Amino acid sequence: MKKIIIALALLASVQIAGAQQQVKTVNAAKGAIESALKAAQNAKKATNAATWIKLGEAYLDAYAAPLGNGWVGASETELNLVMARDKVLGTREEEVNGQRYTVKSYENADYYFNGNGQLAIIKATKQVEENALDKALDAFKKAAAVDEKAKKTKDIAEGIKTISSKFTDEAYTAYTLGDLAKASDCFEKAAAAAGVAPNSQIDTNSLYNAGLTSWMLSNQKDSVDAIPWLNRAQDFFGKALANGYTGEDGEVYAKLADVAGRLGDKELSKDYLEKGFSAFPSSQGILVGLINYYVASGDNPKEIFKLLDLAKANEPNNASLYYVEGNIHKEIGEDDAAMAAYDKCAEINPDYEFGYVGKGILLYNKAVDLQEKASTEMDDAKYLALIQDFETALKGCVEPFEKAFEVTKDNAIKTSIAQYLKNACFRFRAEPEYQAKYDKYNAVANGE
């Protein structure tokens, strides 16, 4: 998901750099708005489209003025040439979303430079005019309304297009600074502006990104209520899809399925996944979504293996797919196939703990079942055979559990594994080796 939004951001930065031009000073921008507003309030001039175009352009200049003459992607050397008269008021280091920036503060904006010395973010700290882009759009709409003979169609469309691109710039800036709510709002405004006549364009990138940022907000742990963000994500993803935008390798289908599922509509979620699979049979996101659906619903378990085979063909080194395969085999009573899948999981990635965990749990549960059978067996010979099988399974679970305990970096998982190991080793504590193991894992399970 981030790959798409970042790629678009890079494209936007290239376009910005290519179109860079000297912006008006803050005072000049203020004066231009005052003059243009005065003309627009004149009854005669207000019937002229050029009057409103001039007002719209004045608001655009007011938006740009605080940002200065820098552009995203510029080096400090380049900026020193074009901004020689602009005084740096202060410099600081700041971390944004895990990345360090050197921030230079000017009178009206902060410039964020990345580790390569390139300008990555321009953040206005003062505004010439609040909501300048919204007011600019209103002015161009008014221009279109009074342009009865369509003499200014090209100029009006160009102005609206510029406004849409500025909303997009604002969205990327907010996204980079971690303000996803503002980013989503600005992407929505960018899409809405693009559709205004006479520009009348459908901006599917902004529709998708408005949905994506909403979806990201719904996943935040500190989100008070995910439902409004999920509804918003569903709305914008749906609009993007309706206009032919499917995202990278059918990503929109996968996102819509996830949203529908989380909103409680499992059938709609399945429908999106199946449609996405038909259009993008090699999409890993859609395949994983389908697999998760079948696992959760229990429908047609054998169908999952076909999907898993496709997923493994796409990602032969993805150990988690074999872990899922093992779990499915286990659920339908195919223990040998489950064991083989767990072993393959560990073979592909020895540091992936869940292959070992899956095998350990399978053997542990098998031992519990055998113990229960033995407790009701009246025939001595059969009873002894069951006890022997029980102890074999119970001892068998120790090795994979210990391997999982060794490789996992998650303390909660360690504690859970230790509980299994404690229980398993208790049976054999008469043997010094297992007594030592019991003492070790009992301490971990008890938080010592």
**Number of alpha helices (DSSP H) and beta strands (DSSP E) in the chain:** 19, 4
293's CB contacts (< 8 A; 6+ apart) are 257, 261, 266, 269, 270, 273, 299
**Dist. CA 30–CA 218, nearest whole Å:** 40
pTM of the full predicted structure?
A: 0.73
**Dist. CA 122–CA 129, nearest whole Å:** 17
List per-residue pLDDT tens for the chain, 448 residues long. Answer: 444 554 444 444 433 433 344 567 888 999 999 999 999 999 999 999 999 999 999 999 999 999 999 999 999 889 988 898 899 999 999 999 889 999 999 999 999 999 999 999 999 999 999 999 999 999 999 999 999 999 999 999 999 999 999 999 999 999 999 999 999 999 999 999 999 999 999 999 999 999 999 999 999 866 668 999 999 999 999 999 999 999 999 999 999 999 999 999 999 999 999 999 888 877 888 888 888 888 888 777 778 888 888 888 888 999 999 998 998 888 888 999 999 999 999 999 999 999 999 999 999 999 999 999 999 999 999 999 999 999 999 999 999 999 999 999 999 999 999 999 999 999 999 999 999 999 999 999 998 7
Q: Which value, to the nearest 10 degrees, does the dihedral of the CA atoms of residues 437, 439, 445, 448 take?
A: -130
> Residue 398 forms beta bridges with which residues?
none
List the one residue out of 277, 279, 259, 280 whose CA is nearest residue 269. Answer: 259
